């Protein structure tokens, strides 16, 4: 997958799509193809941090990720285990207030759906109060929150605190996701689990509803 990673990091949009199609047609695991996109994103993030890439590169990488997802999605449909019509749980998903990153969130929404969850995706920059209100209406089993910015940690903690204050904490499992998260941050937020990878998140949620 290194060629795909390199092409994406170098912003070669056409080559990225070409290689994606080629790998999938050759029978490569679509989840692995996704992971290559994620590795490229990590490198792009590092270059942004290091001052060699700027916002246009971030936007371009977001677009490549979106068009790549469209190509990968039909392959995931057939290959993901557990895909089917019978729903195994209700999963509410949002990017927390203050954060507009949604590439990872959208992948999670797609994969949770393919794995049998009924998914309600509230979009980006969603306040805690809206998440709680919608979780009640929807009858969510699990609240999934995405946050890529360090600045998202406090609003995520705010959500869990509000659930506690409302006496609702035990009604929902809370899972947070995003590349910047770790166990320490998860403990600070008070979530039940954190992941930096969609597949790990799906496995955790399946365990909860089993």
**Closest distance to ligand B12 from the beta carbon of 195 (Å):** 5
**Closest distance to ligand B12 from the beta carbon of 85 (Å):** 22
Which stretches within 11-124 are classed as H helix? 13-25, 30-50, 55-79, 103-114
Phi and psi dihedrals of 94, rounded to 5? -160, 150
**Closest distance to ligand B12 from the beta carbon of 149 (Å):** 4
Give the CB-side neighbour count of residue 176, counting CA atoms within 13 A.
29
Q: Return the H-helix or E-strand segment holding 120.
A: strand 117-121
CA angle 103, 106, 158 (to 5 degrees): 85
17 or 179: CB nearest ligand B12: 179
β-strands 142-146, 117-121: how paired? unpaired
93 or 160: CB nearest ligand B12: 93
**Closest distance to ligand B12 from the beta carbon of 43 (Å):** 8
**Closest distance to ligand B12 from the beta carbon of 94 (Å):** 9
24 or 68: CB nearest ligand B12: 68
24 or 145: CB nearest ligand B12: 145
Helix axes 55-79, 13-25, angle to 10 degrees: 10
167 or 184: CB nearest ligand B12: 184
- Residues engaged in binding ligand B12 (CB under 6 A): 38, 41-42, 44-45, 48-49, 55, 58-59, 61-62, 93, 98-105, 107-108, 144-146, 148-150, 175, 177-180, 195-198, 201
**Closest distance to ligand B12 from the beta carbon of 202 (Å):** 7
User: DSSP letter at 197?
Assistant: S
Query: If phi over 0 gives left and psi between -120 and 50 gives alpha, with beta otherwise, what is residue 123?
Result: left
- Whole-number Å distance between alpha carbons of 15 and 1: 13
33 or 107: CB nearest ligand B12: 107
Q: Return the H-helix or E-strand segment holding 95.
A: strand 89-95
């Amino acid at each position: 997958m290194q060629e795909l990673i390199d092409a994406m990091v170098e912003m070669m949009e056409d080559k990225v799509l070409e290689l994606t199609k080629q790998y999938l047609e050759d029978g490569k695991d679509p989840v692995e193809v996704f992971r290559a996109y994620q590795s490229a994103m990590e490198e792009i993030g590092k270059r942004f941090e290091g001052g060699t890439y700027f916002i246009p590169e971030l936007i371009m990488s977001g677009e490549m990720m979106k068009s790549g997802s469209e190509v990968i999605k039909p392959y995931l449909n057939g290959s993901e285990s557990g895909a089917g019509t019978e729903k195994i749980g209700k999963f509410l998903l949002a990017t927390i207030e203050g954060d507009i990153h949604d590439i990872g969130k959208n992948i999670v929404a797609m994969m949770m759906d393919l794995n049998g969850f009924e998914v309600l995706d509230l979009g980006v920059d969603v306040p805690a109060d809206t998440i709680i209100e919608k979780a009640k209406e929807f009858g969510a089993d699990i609240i999934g929150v995405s946050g890529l910015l360090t600045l998202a940690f406090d609003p995520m903690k705010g959500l869990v605190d509000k659930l506690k204050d409302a006496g609702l904490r035990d009604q929902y499992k809370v899972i947070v996701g995003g590349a910047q998260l770790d166990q320490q941050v998860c403990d600070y937020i008070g979530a039940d689990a954190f992941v930096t990878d969609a597949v790990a998140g799906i496995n955790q949620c399946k365990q909860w509803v089993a």
